[in-house]
Amino acid sequence: MPNDKAPVTGEVQFRVRYAETDQMKVVYHANYLIWCEMGRTDLIRRLGTSYADIERQGIALAVIDASLRYHAAAKYEDMIRVRTTLVDAKSRSVTFEYTIENAETGARLVSARTTLASINGEGKLVAMPSELRRSLENAVA
């Protein structure tokens, strides 16, 4: 029987901004969460939708859990690559994993995982629209 699952990987590349450094002369640790968001935005766009469209349907995906392990530091002007995979999709939540690397050297900088919950305009947990849910489930790695 054919497997109709199509694991999808988000992948974005960009240079470190000066504003992202701190006086330790490396990227400030909170910024990696912003980069994770860029990765999952890209993954969602590859699924044929966009996170902006999801919000226009009255649904927001809010981060409810995040964890990061920092292996090595990114520096100003480094070219960064974020690879994002979907590891779990339920009716009300979805979990992504991220590998953040130096795109030139391949060195792994950060591994991270976030879980997001589907909420409505009042901040209440709600089931995702079925089309979105199906498209996320099919993309689970």
Of 109-128, which residues contact its own copies (CB under 8 A)?
123
Q: Which is nearer to its own copies, 6 or 62 (CB)?
A: 62
Q: Is 22 one of the catalytic residues?
A: yes
The amino acid at 28: Y
The structure tokens listed for 100 are 């953040």
Question: How big is the chain by its Cα radius of gyration, in Å?
Answer: 16
Please report whether residue 1 would count as binding its own copies according to CB under 8 A.
no
If you write DSSP's letter for every residue of 71-131 in order, what string do you get?
-S---TT-EEEEEEEEEEE-SSEEEEEEEEEETTT--EEEEEEEEEEEE-TTS-B-PPPHH
Within 13 A of 43's CA, how many CA atoms are on the CB side? 30
- Of 4, 22, 65, 88, the active-site residue reads 22
The structure tokens listed for 59 are 């649904």
Query: x/- site string to its own copies, residues 81 to 100, per CB under 8 A?
Result: --------------------
Q: Which stretch binds its own copies (CB under 8 A): 2-10, 56-64, 92-100, 128-136?
A: 56-64
Of 19-38, which residues contact its own copies (CB under 8 A)?
19, 21-26, 28-31, 33-34, 37-38
Kind plus residue range of the DSSP H or E element containing 46: helix 31-46
Residues forming the site for its own copies (CB under 8 A) = 14-15, 17-19, 21-26, 28-31, 33-34, 37-38, 41, 50-52, 55, 60, 62-70, 73, 75-77, 123
Which are the catalytic amino acids? 22
